Chain A
Amino acid sequence: MIKFFLMVNKQGQTRLSRYYEHVEINKRTMLEAEVVKTCLSRSKDQCSFIEYKDFKLVYRQYAALFIVVGINETENEMAVYELIHNFVEVLDKYFSRVIMFNLDRVHIILDEMVLNGCIVETNRNRILAPLLVLDKVAES
């Protein structure tokens, strides 16, 4: 089960955070800071899976952005690694320009892909369908 999904930039600022189990607010900031520190300090040719406290972190770097996913032991780490890439491809298709100004849309995309810690949909077109509807409604 996926515990959380984070997008962090190189300076350590959180761009997106989604938790699938309850974590107190002050603990969240601490957790994010620690996680980011661990990921940032690793070099390029090191393993993408880190053991952190009692769960695992899977992270992937895209230019200045890190995507970190926390999973428990039952998940296949490499499948989650692919999921991250899938997510980025979906974002790429939808957002022609810079992502970060439309945070709510990114949340919506994430919701279509992951529900309560489990993967729901991985097909790009089907994920984006509700969003296109939303856009049409918003325009009109």
Chain B
Amino acid sequence: MPAPIRLRELIRTIRTARTQAEEREMIQKECAAIRSSFREEDNTYRCRNVAKLLYMHMLGYPAHFGQLECLKLIASQKFTDKRIGYLGAMLLLDERQDVHLLMTNCIKNDLNHSTQYVQGLALCTLGCMGSSEMCRDLAGEVEKLLKTSNSYLRKKAALCAVHVIRKVPELMEMFLPATKNLLNEKNHGVLHTSVVLLTEMCERSPDMLAHFRKVRKLSSSQLVPQLVRILKNLIMSGYSPEHDVSGISDPFLQVRILRLLRILGRNDDDSSEAMNDILAQVATNTETSKNVGNAILYETVLTIMDIKSESGLRVLAINILGRFLLNNDKNIRYVALTSLLKTVQTDHNAVQRHRSTIVDCLKDLDVSIKRRAMELSFALVNGNNVRGMMKELLYFLDSCEPEFKADCASGIFLAAEKYAPSKRWHIDTIMRVLTTAGSYVRDDAVPNLIQLITNSVEMHAYTVQRLYKAILGDYSQQPLVQVASWCIGEYGDLLVSGQCEEEEPIQVTEDEVLDILESILISNMSASVTRGYALTAIMKLSTRFTCTVNRIKKVVSIYGSSIDVELQQRAVEYNALFKKYDHMRPALLERMPVMEKVTTNGPTEIVQTNGETEPAVLETKPPPSGLQPASQANDLLDLLGGSDITPVIPTAPTSKPASAGGELLDLLGDLNLTGSPVSAPAPQTGQPPFLLDGLSSQPLFNDIAAGIPSITAYNKNGLKIDFTFERSNTNPSVTVITIQASNSTELDMTDFVFQAAVPKTFQLQLLSPSSSVIPAFNSGTITQVIKVLNPQKQQLRMRIKLTYNHKGSAMQDLAEVNNFPPQSWQ
């Protein structure tokens, strides 16, 4: 059979192929030829065939039938064969194939070969793809080679040792004695790889790190001074043609040494002190005109930031970064922005000085730079510069690519929330974001916005007017439409009456408003959620508007047969409201009370609704604890008096904590029982659990922690209060306590009120009790649920105050509960 073609012929032929199919054909033909050649056990051309096979493998074609051939090549005595064999092994084999174990013996023999190049090959292959068994077997050989005087082998052995350590960390100690002399070499290759080895050891094991940092007075082999010396020689020595790159000698080694210094100096004062001088020297002496110099400076800056350097050095580092920012080269600017992002937390003021440059980078064409600049800008916003920065960021939001818009929008919201100089500015900013990037805004922004708007009471008219104008033209951006419909539903009367101090009032009739809402309902662009919002808004307007109630009734009844189940349910319920429960309608659809947000950005936001419940419906069944929360709070304050305990207003029974969506049905069904209308009604159904605070949805009660022991919190005068605990697996900082109050005397206790206070680091929410009467002779109990949010996992402590009427006289008692079991708060 003719001699197989050479590799270069193959490459040439494949390059002439014009289509993928042609290429595949050629490769298949060649593969067949190679396979038959392998079968013939042809020794002379095996190496050529394997080389071709490797090329085809690189192009993406399967080449596994060549693996055994690689082994045969490795076992051969010729250097050329071995070379290709090892290369093939590195490319085709890895730990997952069983074949690689067969190599172990060959590698062992080759590690002891007489020729250094063969030994080098073996080291290279072992270092690239040795499995943990192979490494364990051959670690001894590698260690021996680490100590030889041949620098060619030493450097490869060092990197092979790195691989061994990565695979089998227990063998690290074995290499420790060999490292003692590594840094005394002159050869830069060995120095470089030894530094890598030391770096790997220090990163893997803190013991090693401590060992290397130790200052040994008599021995001259302290690591940090050695490294400093080497670095100094590199900088100070004159031109050395061997390692010169654009005028700087061996920048690769310099960068490596700086990185090792960084690891050694982190959190360690002595080492950091020893390095200060050399770092300052490198920072000032390195030439910055070429990329090489900048690479070294970059590494230096990173090191300075990481170790415990003195402040002068840090200022120097930040100035270098500032200089980088002004550089024309994009690479350098990118690198500078990245580093500034890392340091902005610690050296905030220094970075502020470069704010204008950073903001300019927002306008850069390059995507990576823009992203970095955006992140950094958000980190730099503070109370003083918020207006200017926001202007720039809004402009950026207008013009940036879609992949940024979501992040930018959420960033703007966060920043606006923290630093808004005035409510009007805040609302304006949010509106601007909604109109420009409305479809990219995250879902949780909508409830946040709504809550913000309700809180700024004086801005309602202005807000609703602006929102109305915004959706007049275009109602395709869902979050904007959702917020707008909610607001129109709530404050429609302000809109129609045309009162607005901040801006020119516009004349809007009720019909126009209804037109808009109806078109949102009909439009194909509206999502199902948006339609829900719109329907609810229309319903709410039935109490706010005077002359269009019939129209509203008509609209609502149309949707009673809508295909969308959610809309249908709502429409049916609203219809029922019109027909059977018309007397309830005004109270149900009244304005939402002001909501207070306790925590921002927390995964569970405990919302405490002040007990401003609408008095009208309350009279049917006055809840014991809700009526005058303010005065009760004062009492609690007076009595408790402790400075570290914040009293908690028990929530009015407003939150019948039902889950969002569809609880209107519950409401209608239970209207006679609870008489707690307010936060339940329509507007909430459209919103995600935010208002009902994530704690009150069911999942909490489903995860019951395995048996936390219950405690008796109070037992006096016949009144016993037991606490039982539940922890939620979904939110481990929440503890749910159910109290049971029982009465062992012969007379009932009436008007029982339970109040509790916790230290400032906790948050508490009391839900409404089951009743206010504890029957005598332990024949019944009052149960009440308390939810405690304990983000810092501190020990739970509580002060409780009990008031009740017993035997004709009012009783009151204070107690402290300290015997909470550890599982309830850990």
Q: Which A residues have a C-beta under 8 Å from some C-beta of B?
A: 14, 16-18, 20, 22, 25-26, 28-29, 43, 45-51, 76-79, 81-83, 86, 100-104, 107-108, 111, 115-116, 118-123, 125-126, 129-130, 133-134, 137-138
Contact = CB atoms under 8 A, between A and B. Distances in A.
Interface residues of B, number: 65
Nearest to B368: A47
B298 A76 contact: yes
9 contacts: A25-B62, A47-B368, A76-B295, A78-B294, A82-B295, A103-B55, A115-B159, A116-B162, A121-B189
A103 B11 contact: yes
A48 B250 contact: no
Contact of A14 (B59, B124, B252, B298): B59
A47 B330 contact: yes
Contact of A49 (B87, B124, B331): B331
B826 interface: no
Interface in B152-191: 152, 155-156, 159-160, 162-163, 188-189
Interface stretch (B78-86, B452-460, B515-523, B752-760): B78-86
B291 A82 contact: yes
A22 B159 contact: no
Nearest to B83: A134
A104 B54 contact: yes
Given A116-B162, A134-B117, 11 more contacts: A47-B334, A51-B368, A77-B331, A78-B331, A82-B295, A100-B11, A102-B7, A111-B124, A122-B245, A123-B188, A138-B80
B331 A48 contact: yes
B62 A119 contact: no
Contact of B243 (A81, A82, A120, A123): A123
- Prevailing SS type, chain B contact patch: helix
Interface in B195-237: 196
Contact of B155 (A22, A49, A100, A120): A120
Contacts of B87: 104, 107-108, 111
B579 interface: no
Contacts of A102: 7-8
Contacts of A20: 128
A26 B62 CA distance: 10
A50 to B, nearest CB: 6
Contacts of B55: 103
Nearest to B292: A82
Nearest to B250: A122
B558 interface: no
A133 B333 CA distance: 44
B293 to A, nearest CB: 10
A81 B331 contact: yes
B312 interface: no
Interface string B236-266: 0000001101000011100110010000000
B206 to A, nearest CB: 18
B703 interface: no
Nearest to B244: A123
B368 A118 contact: no
Interface of B: 7-8, 11-12, 51, 54-55, 58-60, 62, 79-80, 83-84, 87, 90-91, 94-96, 117, 120, 124, 127-128, 152, 155-156, 159-160, 162-163, 188-189, 192-193, 196, 242-243, 245, 250-252, 255-256, 259, 291-292, 294-295, 298-299, 330-335, 365-369, 371
A83 B79 contact: no
A104 B155 contact: no
Given A49-B368, A122-B252, A82 B245 contact: yes
A120 B7 contact: no
B340 to A, nearest CB: 15
A36 to B, nearest CB: 13
B242 A123 contact: yes
Nearest to A58: B331
A108 B83 contact: yes
Contacts of B369: 47
Given A28-B60, A79-B255, A108-B83, A116 B189 contact: no
Contacts of B60: 25-26, 28-29
Contact of B128 (A51, A86, A115, A138): A115
Given A81-B291, A108-B87, A101 B12 contact: yes
B365 A82 contact: no
Task: Kindly name the residue among A18, A49, A116 whose own CB sees the greatest number of chain B CB atoms within 10 A.
Answer: A116
Contacts of B196: 118-119
Which 5 pairs across A and B sit closest by C-beta, in order of nearness?
A: A78-B295, A101-B8, A47-B330, A115-B159, A46-B366
A130 B117 contact: yes
A137 B252 contact: no
Given A102-B8, A104-B87, A111-B87, A120 B192 contact: yes
B335 A77 contact: yes
A101 B55 CA distance: 10
B251 A79 contact: yes
A43 B120 CA distance: 41
A101 B7 contact: yes
Contact of A83 (B62, B120, B252, B335): B252
Contacts of A26: 60
A126 B255 CA distance: 20
Nearest to A49: B334
Nearest to B115: A133
Contacts of B54: 103-104, 107
